[in-house]
Amino acid sequence: MMWAGTACRTITPAAPAHLAGYAARWDKTPSTWVHDELYAKTLYLKNKETTLLLMSVDLCELPQAQALQHRIARRCGVQHVLIAATHTHSGPYTVRTQSQPDDFDATWYAWACDQMEEAAVEAVTSPFPARLGAAQTDVPEVGKNRRAGATITDPALTVLCIWDQENAVRALWLNYACHCTILDGNSFAISADYPGYLYQQLGAHYPQALVLFTNGAAGDINIGYSSDASALGETMAFRSFETAERMAAILSERTSGLISGLTPWESPPLRVLPFTARLPLKPNRPSSDDLLRQIEKVQETIDSARTPDEKRTAAIRKIYLQSLLDTLALAGEGSICEAPSLVIQLGHLMLITTPTELFCEVGLALKQHIAAPLLSAVVGYAGGYVGYLPTAQAMQVGGYEAEVSPFDVDAADHFVRAAAQALQSFN
């Protein structure tokens, strides 16, 4: 017998908040309005052997997730807790960064963590007999590879459906690889981005269901625009609430189609195996003081630039340096960053979670270690956040993600090997 519990809490700041995710908003005003609420949504699952609590939060990232997961596990008596950020770039800062230290609101963050904990308590204390089923379909119309000349994506939309004993859909968990950055750095509205529309659209079709979203291997995936142009805040008319709603409608329609053909599993297994990937950091990386000196010099170049192209090139370089300053702080000192991760089996669905922002090619390499007929999905921004995890080829080519990643060129290969070993021991 499988049991499930669900709960939801609002984590929208009551006052204007500085929004994370875009360099174009640095040193600018805080949010000006709330377009849609931000949520912490919890799905609790248990059988005779295992208890698992999955939480999706509408935030850019949650670097301190491990501490909150331990806090929830202790209070609720749950064996495994995983908190994953959706990666919306229209939510508040969740950590005090070195580049923008004053933009973090510690009072809001403490309150939001309390809300997450209360959502966990409610889900754990109100379980119901449940049946589970999952399915996948490709949705290539939404996610595009944003790196110049690259076309590879992971178009898989994964849907986990939870029914009660009366056949009502009580929870839907969606996983898809695409940055929640349809809204750009010129927007100062609080929003969950396109997942916010997913919640509304699927909620209208399944009124008893809690709809959760997690992002996949989306490090190089958005709806089709340059990361440099986005960082600079260059205006792109198609990055709008209307586009977010349209992209969500595509995903919602495919989700409903999957649900209509789903059959619940008979006695599905629930198993969880934690593993830690030891990821090598960049050797000879600059210190914080070195980066601050470089940032100061680049600012002088910006101030003295004679042409728009010179100014743009220098501005991009400054953004890279400031972002690297922040990600190095998250990854820690030493030569190795430990990335706590999970392998999860839910019936015929296998999940690999990671606190990194991994490229879709890395996600596809992970999935190759899971054989059909099992379904597979990668959950990024989960259990913490330690930065971009590009492929070795992307690290050699360079560009935004490679420049600001704290990791050495072959770190992605280390993660894939660690996950493959966990899968072998899991089986």
> What would the pLDDT profile of 26-78 be if each residue is shown by its tens digit?
989 999 999 999 999 999 999 999 999 999 999 999 999 999 999 999 999 99
Q: For residue 426, what pLDDT is reported?
A: 78
Q: For residue 416, what pLDDT is reported?
A: 98
Q: For residue 341, what pLDDT is reported?
A: 98
Sign of CA dihedral 402, 175, 383, 119: positive
Q: For residue 425, what pLDDT is reported?
A: 86
- Separation CA 220–CA 400 (nearest Å): 10
Please state whether beta strands 144-145 and 51-57 pair in parallel, antiparallel, or not at all (unpaired): unpaired
Q: For residue 375, what pLDDT is reported?
A: 97
- Separation CA 40–CA 59 (nearest Å): 9
Residue 408's Cβ-count burial label (10 Å; 0-12, 13-18, 19+) is buried
- Separation CA 97–CA 23 (nearest Å): 12
Query: What H or E segment, with its residue span, contains residue 145?
Result: strand 144-145
Three-class SS of residue 46? strand
Residue 205: phi and psi, rounded to 5, are: -85, -30
Q: For residue 407, what pLDDT is reported?
A: 97
Q: For residue 1, what pLDDT is reported?
A: 87
pTM over 0.85: yes
Sign of CA dihedral 27, 32, 35, 39: positive
Residue 212's Cβ-count burial label (10 Å; 0-12, 13-18, 19+) is buried
pLDDT in tens, 193-241: 999 999 999 999 999 999 999 999 999 999 999 999 998 889 899 999 9
For the chain, domain boundaries: 1-427
Which distant-in-sequence residues (6+ apart) come within 8 Å of 193 by Cβ? Answer: 86, 88, 89, 90, 180, 181, 182, 183, 244
Three-class SS of residue 69? helix
Residue ranges for the chain with pLDDT beneath 70: none
